[in-house]
Amino acid sequence: MKKYEIESFLKSFILFFSTLLILNAVIFWLYHEEQKRVLQEDIFNKIKIYNYTFKDKDIKIKLVPMRKKSELYALHVTNHDIFAYFDIPTSKKSSLKIIYSYKIYKSNLQNLLKKNLLYFFISSLVLLLLSIIYSLYSIKPLRNALYLLDEFLKDIIHDLNTPVSSILLNLRILKKKNSNDAIQRIEFSTKKIGSLYNNLESMIKEEPLHVESIDISSILHEKIEYFNYLYPDITFKTDIKSRFLKTSQNEFSRIIDNLISNACKYNKTNGKISIYIDEKIVKIEDTGIGIKNCSKVFNRFYKEGDRGMGLGLDIVKKMCNKLGYGIQIKSKLDVGTKVKITL
């Protein structure tokens, strides 16, 4: 466990255990007092029986001056004695003081205390174990969240490393000679960083939709040109006609960007991507490695193996919901993935 996990565990454990221990101590005290009361009632019953039978080796009898009515027929416990007073029907001057063996009473009380302390100790051990289990369970979501954050940061670093390295490499080429190719690669790498930035930005803020009439075919052609340059070994097959749609250009562009990016990244060597558009549907199909669990791909941070950051399709789904589009994904491992957007 890491330092912050240990700290969270200790705080949870101390809170759980101290609360349960206090509650256990209160229950122990109440239970002990009840057992003590039962013991004294038992002794009082023996004294009452002795008052009629006078047969009990643990009890003694004594004549005392007449006691008040409030003192009669009740058990009295002092630091050295346990007894009860009873009246004598034939006497108006004396009462009977029936005394139970204080030594036996004290011994029984100590045995009772030992037994209850044993119960308290055992129950406290159980509570200790439960507190440890509850504390470990309580930090599990924190550990999962921190694990996802660690993986997320690693993926960001990994995804940013490629375009940044490309920019630095092409800048060195530019220093040596004027190269349009190098300039174009820098432009595409910068756009890639911009795309990652937009994905991260969409996680933390909601922007109002700016709806306008746009030719979505031109956006598709622009994205194909961009990714065709980044992935020259992939063949793009298109059936795209001019199609004007009232929508948010920014959101629609980012949906297409994420989907084509995935189709390229997880495609096979010399793979193919087919893009089709009609009045109500946009289809993007690839010949890639496929998806094992399509039902989870829209969950944030869900990844299969070392696939990206687990953000792209979560963002795509949210944007489709925002624009009122339907989206379906079908996939077979080692065959490819089909994405259908219903406009």
Which tens digit of pLDDT belongs to each residue from 179-231?
666 666 666 666 666 666 665 555 555 566 778 899 888 889 888 888 888 78
Q: 259, exposed or middle or buried, with CB in 10 Å at 0-12, 13-18, 19+?
A: buried
Does residue 100 fall inside a structural domain? yes
> How does residue 3 score in pLDDT terms, banded at 50, 70 and 90?
confident
Instruction: Return the closest-CA partner of residue 252 out of 328, 339, 322.
Output: 322
Under the banding of pLDDT at 50, 70 and 90, the label for residue 312 is: confident
The pTM score is 0.49
* Beta-bridge partners for 332: 336
Instruction: Identify whether residues 179 and 214 lie together within a single domain.
Output: no
Mean pLDDT for the chain?
Answer: 84
pLDDT for 85 beyond 90: yes
Same domain, 215 and 335: yes
Residue 233 DSSP label: T
Asked whether residue 88 falls in the same domain as residue 175, the answer is: no
Which H or E run contains 14? helix 3-53
Q: Which residue is listed with tokens 């001057």?
A: 93
Alpha-carbon distance 270 to 287, whole Å? 9
User: Is residue 160 domain-resident?
Assistant: yes
Please check whether residue 12 lies inside any domain of the structure. yes
Pairing of strands 235-239, 272-277: parallel
Query: Which pLDDT score, from 0 to 100, does residue 97 have?
Result: 93
Domain shared by 104 and 28, yes or no = yes
| Alpha-carbon gap, residue 271 to 255, rounded angstroms | 21
**Three-state DSSP class for residue 36:** helix
Q: Decide if 104 is inside a domain.
A: yes
| Same structural domain, 197 and 95 | no
Say if residue 233 is in the same domain as residue 195: no
pLDDT for res 66: 92
pLDDT in the model for residue 115:
93
Q: Which of 98, 117, 138 is the last residue of a domain?
A: 138
What is the Cα–Cα distance from 272 to 264, expressed in whole angstroms?
9
CA pair distance 243, 224, nearest whole angstrom: 16
Q: What is the DSSP letter of 287?
A: -
Q: Do residues 95 and 50 both lie within one domain?
A: yes
DSSP, res 279 = S
pLDDT band for 113, please (50, 70, 90 cuts).
very high
Examine the domain organization and report whether 81 and 110 are in the same domain.
Answer: yes
Among 138, 160, 185, which residue terminates a domain? 138
Cα–Cα distance measured from residue 100 to residue 105, given in angstroms and rounded to the nearest whole number? 8
Residues 247-276 have a mean pLDDT of 89
Q: What percent of the chain has pLDDT over 90?
A: 40
Same domain, 133 and 160: no
Residue type for 15, please? L
How does residue 10 score in pLDDT terms, banded at 50, 70 and 90?
confident
Choose the final residue of a domain: 182, 205, 228: 205
Same-domain status, 219 and 324: yes
Residues 47 and 128 in one domain: yes
- Rounded to an integer, the average pLDDT of 291-311 is 77
Given a cut of 70, whether residue 22 has pLDDT beyond it is yes
Does residue 340 carry a pLDDT above 90? yes
Q: Structural domain tally of the chain?
A: 3
Task: Pick the closest to residue 15 from 119, 114, 138, 112 (CA basis).
Answer: 138
- Which domain range does residue 10 map to? 3-138
Give residue 168's pLDDT: 65
Q: How far apart, in whole angstroms, are the C-alpha atoms of residue 236 and residue 24?
A: 71
Residues 178, 118 share a domain: no
Q: Distances in Å between the alpha carbon of 332 and those of 58, 260, 286, 314?
A: 88, 18, 11, 20
Three-state SS sequence of 53-102: HCCCCCEEEEEEECCCHHHECCEEECCCCEEEEEECCCCCCEEEEEEECH
Residue 144 lies in a domain: no
pLDDT, tens digit, 9 for 90 and up, residues 262-294: 899 899 989 999 999 887 899 999 999 998 888
Per-residue confidence band for 121, with pLDDT thresholds at 50, 70 and 90 = very high
Residue 227: which CATH number? Answer: 3.30.565.10
Q: Which strand (E) or helix (H) includes residue 260?
A: helix 249-265
